[in-house]
Structure 1
Amino acid sequence: MADIHIRRDHRLGLSGARKVAWQWAEQAEADFDMRCTYAEGDDVDEVQFARSGVNGTLRVSADHFELDAKLGFLLGAFKEHIEGEIVKNLDQLLAAKKPAARKKK
């Protein structure tokens, strides 16, 4: 089995992070045929995701996302590619939520 661990800090607060996490879960379901369940907590939310050959958790807090996934034997051979796609998707969602830079006068 291959393990994936990704952490991304953010400044969205828990409310903003929840929106990104919901988008991530919807995208994972649509693009990768994942089954996702979302559980809100007081300080940390968890998105559990699974499909044949992979399962894991995305933890969502006020200042970071932390994803841990386990890949089965067959998907383990594609760990680098899978990890790259997860990073790309999460980074794109986070970039879309960043406030625009203010122009200097």
Structure 2
Amino acid sequence: MARIDIHHPHTLAPDRARQSVQEVADKLTERFGVDCRWDGDTLHFTRSGIEGCIALLPDQLHVTADLGFLFGAMKGPIEAELRRVLSERFS
């Protein structure tokens, strides 16, 4: 199983950061068909072959995802897209 583990700094106010994480989740839903739910300041996402979360911390985001066999083969492009979107929204 492939694993993605990204720490990305941010300086956004908590409400704005949460809104931006939701926008990232909306992109994940659109692109990969994941189901998302909030648990406190952590957004969990899942679908067959993908399970992960985005933890919203005061000065950084921590994104983790476990990718099953099929998505594991696309780990590089998925991780690159996540990094790109995070940079757009949180830099």
Runs of 4+ in 1 over 4 A off after TM superposition: none
SS in 2 for 1:8: strand
TM-score after normalising by structure 2: 0.91
The equivalent residue for 2:56 is 60
Q: Judge conservation of contact 1:15–1:62 (CA < 8 Å) in 2.
A: no
Q: Judge conservation of contact 1:5–1:66 (CA < 8 Å) in 2.
A: yes
The equivalent residue for 1:20 is 20
Q: Which runs of 5+ in 2 are unaligned?
A: none
Between Structure 1 and Structure 2, which shows a larger proportion of strand residues?
Answer: 2
The equivalent residue for 2:31 is 31
Shift of 1:15: 2.0
Query: Whole-Å Cα distance in 2 between the matches of residues 89 and 61 of structure 1?
Result: 17
Say which one has the larger Rg: 1
Q: Which runs of 5+ in 1 are unaligned?
A: 96-105
Query: Whole-Å Cα distance in 1 between the matches of residues 24 and 76 of structure 2?
Result: 19
TM-score after normalising by structure 1: 0.80
The equivalent residue for 2:90 is 94
Q: Judge conservation of contact 2:9–2:90 (CA < 8 Å) in 1.
A: no
- CA-based RMSD of the aligned residues comes to 1.2
